[in-house]
Structure 1
Amino acid sequence: MAKARPITDEDRRKVRDLHAAGESRNAIADALGRSGATVSKIADELGLSFDRSAVKAATEAKVADARARRAALMLELLDDAARLRAQLWVETTYVDHGGKDFLRAEWTQREPTAADKLKLMQAAAAAANTSMRLDDHDTVGDDIDEAKSMIGALAAGLQAAYDHMEAEGPAEDAGT
């Protein structure tokens, strides 16, 4: 394993200058031929920090985009489940190839066979379940925020009750 190159005063100066010029941590790392971790270490030593608001905004945008894509996929999966289920009750044409001459045989039935209905139901259930899991994925965060709000309100109520009891003074013992 290669030995780490020591950090020099020149490295520190370049980090300070490039940081003052508004360069990102990764751009500074590229300019110095150092790792991002090394640049972060030097910046910490110098009391410098990198503005992460652009990264935060980009991350929030990607999360919102992913949520929108999951919502669209969730609806498509529900449509798929409905189309699969509808196939249970329609006239179905079967084709078979076989025999020593590999002859084609084709026939139509009022509805699919029991085995095919089972496969259709399994596929429809898989699509519906996947759709529900996608919906659950995006609503879990809402449930957590709601629970945090409820716990916060409970804590505030308990604090108010405690403050009220303290203001009234010690409770007297009814037995004495």
Structure 2
Amino acid sequence: MPDIKQYLNGYDPALLNQIQQLIDQETLGDVLRKRYPEAHSFASNKALYAYVLDLKNTYLKQSGSLSKVIYDDKIHIINHALGLHTQIARVQGGKLKSKNEIRIGAAFKKMPLPFLRMICVHELAHLKEKQHNKAFYKLCQYMEPEYHQLEFDTRLYLTHQAFFGDLYV
């Protein structure tokens, strides 16, 4: 049996009790589907790259370029993460070049667009702020004002997924 705290550790016990009631009544999926009725259409790596590049060009014009943005089905299992931002150093023609890559957990292929936006904003914020500090979360909220609510709702979705499977097939 999955553990409710797997994605919701650290939240208020009263809130966890409410969520547990929704799980017990098998209505958590109904709540999520009412709020987020459908999955997004950015299923390919090419579409994901275009989407993330558009976000970057809108909010982070002065930050470094992105060389790769892909869905990665190994992230969740290996790293216990939903996405990764990496900076790769490569030698090209005697020069050391740095390239930014973003990998998004493959689970986001079948999630609503606001959840995908939240994780993309999170990984883009790492272009400027490496640590999860006040400035990092301020930047996330600049790019997505509902960032914290979307992060929580994504955790609810992942909890639903652990108990009942995908909502959006």
Give the TM-score taking structure 2 as reference length.
0.20
Choose 1 or 2 for highest CA Rg. 1
Give the TM-score taking structure 1 as reference length.
0.19
Normalized per residue, which structure has more helix? Answer: 1
Normalized per residue, which structure has more strand? Answer: 2
Q: Higher RCO, 1 or 2 (CA under 8 Å, sep at least 6)? A: 2
